[in-house]
Structure 1
Amino acid sequence: MADYNRNIVNNQTEIPQVTLIRGATLLSMDESIGNIERGDILINGSTITAVGQNLDAPGAHIIDATNMIAMPGMVDSHRHAWEGQLRRLNPNATCLNDYSNATHFSFARYYRPKDIYVGNLLTALGAIDAGITMMIDNSHNSRTAAHADAAVEALLDSGIRAIHASGAPVAGEWDKAHWPGNWQRLQEKYFRNNPESLVTLGVMAQPAPELWAEARRLGLPIVTEFFGAEMASELESLHQQGLLGPDNIFNHCTALPDKGWEILREAGVRVNVCPRSDAHYGIESGMFALEAAQRHGINPGLSVDNETSYSTDMFMEMRVAFYLQRVMGMQQPPCCDAEHALTTLSAAQLLKSATVDGAACAGLEDKTGSLTPGKQADLILINVADLNLYPDGNAFGTVVHAAERSNIDTVMIGGRIVKQNGKVLGVDSEHLRAAIDESRKHLFAAAGYEPDIFAEKFLPLAQAN
C-alpha cells in the first residue's frame, strides 16, 4: 500500500460530449489550417473535429473565447519531474556539478516513494498551470519499484499528458535487482491494458546495447542525456551497429560537430534543446543547439530540463532562445560563409518549437501539438484582455514575448478542462502544500542541510556541514 495521499487532486470531471470554443484568435500551428483572427474550435469528446469560422453545434457546451488566443498546449520535451520540491534551491549554479550537488549527490539518495510522488505531482501541476499540456518525464531517481510506481501514479493523478521515462539513479544506494526488469513490470501494471491513458511509458538510459535492446523489445522510446562535444565520438560506432533509430530521443546535443548531426538525421533520432539549462549550467559551449539542428534538417523540441535553478514555464524558454540566437548572430565574424551563418529566429518559429516540434520529439505528433481535426483537444486559451497584454498587436509576439502563466485562462487536455478562469482545477492546495512541506523537511533533515532562502550559492553538503 502506498504511503502517500493520492487524493490531493481530483480532476477526473466528465468530458462534455461536444464542446464549441467560439470567437478566439486561432494559432493553429497547422500549415493547412493557418491562423484565423476570429475563429472556432469544435471538439467531440476528447477529439478536435473542426477548426474554422462560424461553426455550429446544437447542444454543445459553449466556451466564449472573445479576447482570447487559442493555441495548442505547449510540450516540454525533457523534464526531471521528481525534483519538484527542490525548486530554485540553486539559482546561481554555474556548472553541471552545481546541479548534481543539489540533486543527485545530496537529496536524491534520501527520496522515499512519497517524495517522488510529491515531486512529480508538483511538477506536473506547475506545468499545467503554465500551459504545458504534455511533457517527457526524465525520471533518473527510480531507486526501487515503489519509487517508479509513485512517479507514474503522480502523473496519472495530475491529468497531464506525459511519457514517463524510467531511469536509474545517478548516485547512492538503490535496488539494482529491479533494473531493468522494472520497465516490463511498469508496462504490465499501468499501461498494457490502458490504451487510452494520457501517460505512456519510455526509458531513460545512456548508450548501452543491452539496455537499449530491452527497451526495444518492449517497444519503448529511449531518452538519453547527450552532450555533443563529449559524446560525439560514440555516434559513428552506435550508428554502424544499428543502435540508433527514430525511437531514440536525445536531450541537449550541445556542441555537436556536423558529422554528428548528419548521423542523427540519417538515423531519424529525435532531439530537444535546452536554451536556459545549457546556458545556466555552462554545458559545453553553453549555447543551445536549435540552429545547428535546423541547419541539418532536424526541428527539435524545447525543454525546461529542471526547476532547481529557474522557472517551469515555456514562455521564458522561448524568450531566452530568441535572444541568445540574436546575440550569437551579432557576435559571428563577418567572414563566416553563408552555409554556417547563424539565422535569427522569429516568434512563430519558436512557438512551433514549443508545440508541433515538441510533439514530434515525443513521437506524439499524430495526437497533439496543433489544432488539427482528428488530434486530441490539448489546447490553451490566453486572455489578451489582461492589462499586460492588451492591446494585442501581434498574436505570435504576444504569446512569445509578453504572455505569462497568469494570462492562461483555460487549459484543456484530451477534451477535459484542467485549468479554468486562471486556476488549476481539483487541487486541494492545503493538502498539497502540507505534503510538499513534509517532504522537504524529511529531505533536508536526512541530508543534514540547513535551508537558507537568501543563500548566494547552494553548498555541497560536505561544505554545508
Structure 2
Amino acid sequence: MPNTETPRHAWDVLRNVVAPPAPADAPQAILIRGGTIVSMDPQVGDLAGGDILVRGGRIAAIGRGLPADGAQVIDATDMIVVPGLVDAHRHAWEGQLRRIAPNSPTLLDYLNSTHFSFATHYRPEDIYIGNMLTALGCLDAGITTVVDNSHNARSPQHSDAAIDALEDAGIRAVYAPGTPLAGAWAHHWPGDLARLKRERFAGEDGLVTMAMMSQWDRATWAAARALGLPIITEFLGAEMGALLPGLEREGLLGPDNIFNHNTGLSDAEWEIIRRTGVRVNVCPRSDAQYALEEGVHAYQRAVDHGIEPALSVDVEASYGGDMFSEMRVAYFVQRAHAQHRRYRGEQDAPAAVSVRGMLKAGTLSGARMAGLDARTGSLTPGKQADLILIRAGDINLYPSSNAIGTVVHAADRGNVDTVMVAGRLRKRGGKLLGVDMRRLREITEASRAYLFGRAGYTADPFADASPDLA
C-alpha cells in the first residue's frame, strides 16, 4: 500500500497524494439523518426527511427516525441523497491531457492529439498520475464507480501502476487493460491477464475489479473468457456492426460483452445486441465532439430495442469529467429528437425521457453494465454504501421544488457535499478527504513537462487547433 519505505516500483514514490486508511480503520457506523432520499430502488422508494444507517460499509436500514446507536451522525437537512454516480466508460490514463484539444472535430484529430503522440511516451508513473487525477476528479464530482478502459497498458508495470492509483484513490472501479493504439509496447497480451487475475484480483471483494478491453480478436476474447473476465469493446460504425451476425452465429456474443458508443448500428444489429444480452453504454458528449457516425448518442436507439443503456464520459481530452453534464446532454438531445419526429408527423415518435430515467442511466443502469448492481447503483439495504449528498440549499439549487430535477438539471460538482464509497467518506463538507493537493499538482506538472518534452509540444493555453504531433 502507499508510502512504502523502500519503493518497489518507480511510481511508489508518488504514492503519498492520498493518506492511506489505518490498517484497523474499518468503516464505522454512520447515520445520515433527515435527507431527501432518492433511492433508485422501487421497493425502497423515495423518502423526504429520511435516514440511512450505514454499518460495516453497507446500508443497514433506510427509514425515518432511525436510532443512532453510537453512530457518527451526518445532518442531511436540505440535502438530496442519491446513489453514487457511475461512469460506465472512461480512459483514466488521460488525466494529464485534460482539455488538450477542446475543439477536436473528429476521432482522428483526437487520436493524433493523444494516442499517436503523448500516449507513446507514457511511463508507468505517468499512468499512475493520470489515473489518480481521474479517480479523484470522479470522487469530487460524485462519481463513486468508474469503468477504466485502460487502452494504454504498455507493459505489466503500466497495468500495476493504474491499479495502484485506483486503489489508493479509494474509488470503486473496474480496471480493463488493453493494447495501446500506437508506439512500442511489451506485447504482453493476453498472457498478462492471468498474472493480473492471480496477483491483483484473486478475491472478488475489493473495490477494484477486473475486465479486459479489446476490439474483436478471437484469441484475446477467448483468453478473457477463460479467466471469466468481461470484454469491453469500442463498438461503432457499419464496419463493426457488420461483425455482429457472424459473432452471434458462432456464439461469441453474450452478457460478458460490454459495448461502448454503439453509434451507426442498424435495427437488425441492435436486435442482435438485445438477443445476446450484450451490455451497452452511450457517450452523449464524445459522440458529438468527435463526429462519430450520425454524431448523436445512441440512448434512444438502445431504448427502442428494450435496452437500458448506461452513460459514460469517455475522455477528458476535450471536455469536463462529470456525469451531471452527461445526464443533461442525454436528456435534452433525446427530447430534441423526440420532438423533431413528432413535428414531422411520425406516429411512432418516442416519448420524452424523464429526469428519473436519466438519473437511472447515471446510477443503476451503469452499475448493471459494470456487473456491480448487486453491490451498488441504488440505495438498498444490504448493498454497499456508495452514495452522495447534494446541498439543495446552495444558491444555484435553492429552492429545490423537485429533488430529481434538481440533481439532473441543475446540480454540479460544487454542490456535492459528501461522497461515500463502501461506507468510507471520500469527500465531506465539499472537500476531498486526505488529499494533498500541493503534492498532486507537483507530480502532475512534472509528468506533463516530461510528456510534452518527449512529444515536442509547447503548451499554448489559447490554442484553437489540437496538437498534431503524430
TM-score (norm 1): 0.97
Which residue of structure 2 aligns with residue 45 of structure 1?
A: 56
Q: 1:195, CA displacement in angstroms?
A: 3.2
1:186 deviates by 1.0
Q: Distance in 2 between matches of 1:343 and 1:291?
A: 10
1:174 and 2:174 correspond = no
Task: Please list every run of 5 or more consecutive structure 2 residues that lacks an aligned counterpart in the other structure.
Answer: 1-7
Matched residue type, 1:189: E
Q: Which moved more, 1:75-84 or 1:181-190?
A: 181-190
2:404 aligned residue: 396
Whichever residue aligns with residue 173 of structure 1, its letter is A
Report the Cα distance in structure 2 between the residues aligned to 1:11 and 1:323, rounded to whole angstroms. 41
Offset, 1:261: 1.1
Residue 62, structure 1, aligned to residue 77, structure 2: no
Aligned to 1:134: 145
Aligned ranges for residues 58-457 of structure 1 at < 5 Å?
A: 58-176=69-187, 178-192=188-202, 194-332=203-341, 334=343, 337-339=346-348, 341-457=349-465
AA paired with 1:360?
R
Give 1:330 deviation, angstroms.
3.1
Give identity over the alignment, percent: 55
Counting only pairs closer than 5 Å after superposition, residues 13-52 of structure 1 correspond to structure 2 as: 14-52=25-63
Residue 197 of structure 1, CA deviation: 1.0
Whole-angstrom distance in 2 between the partners of 1:373 and 1:260: 38
Shift of 1:334: 4.7
Q: Which amino acid aligns with 2:357?
A: Q
TM-score (norm 2): 0.96
User: For 2:285, what is the secondary structure of its paired residue?
Assistant: helix
* Worse overlay, 228-237 or 89-98: 228-237
In the alignment of these two chains, the number of paired residues is 459
Q: Quote the Cα distance in structure 2 between the aligned partners of 1:333 and 1:358.
A: 29
Report the CA distance between 1:11 and its aligned residue. Answer: 4.5
CA distance in 2, matches of 1:228, 1:334: 28
* Structure 1 residue matching 2:308: 3-state secondary structure: coil
- Per the TM alignment, residue 169 of structure 1 is displaced from its structure 2 partner at its CA by 0.2
Report the equivalent of 1:3.
10
How far 1:227 moved relative to its partner?
0.2
Paired with 1:307 and 1:17, the residues of 2 have a C-alpha distance of 34
Letter in 1 for 2:228: G
Indicate the RMSD between aligned Cα atoms, in angstroms.
Answer: 1.2
Aligned partners of 1:294 and 1:325: how far apart in 2?
Answer: 11
Does the residue aligned with 1:191 lie in a helix, a strand or coil?
Answer: coil
Q: Which amino acid aligns with 1:428?
A: D
Structure 1: distance between partners of 2:209 and 2:27: 24
In the TM superposition, what is the alpha-carbon distance from 1:16 to its structure 2 partner?
4.0
Distance 1:454 1:17 in 2: 48
Question: Shift in Å at residue 298 of structure 1?
Answer: 0.6
Offset at residue 389 of structure 1 (A): 0.9
How many angstroms apart in 2 are the aligned matches of 1:241 and 1:7?
49
Aligned partner of 1:263: which letter? I
Q: Which whole-Å CA distance do the structure 2 matches of 1:157 and 1:335 have between them?
A: 53
> 2:342, 2:324 → 1: CA distance?
30
Shift of 1:332: 2.6
1:39-91 CA distance string (max 9 Å, x none): 01111111111111111141111111111100100000000000000000100
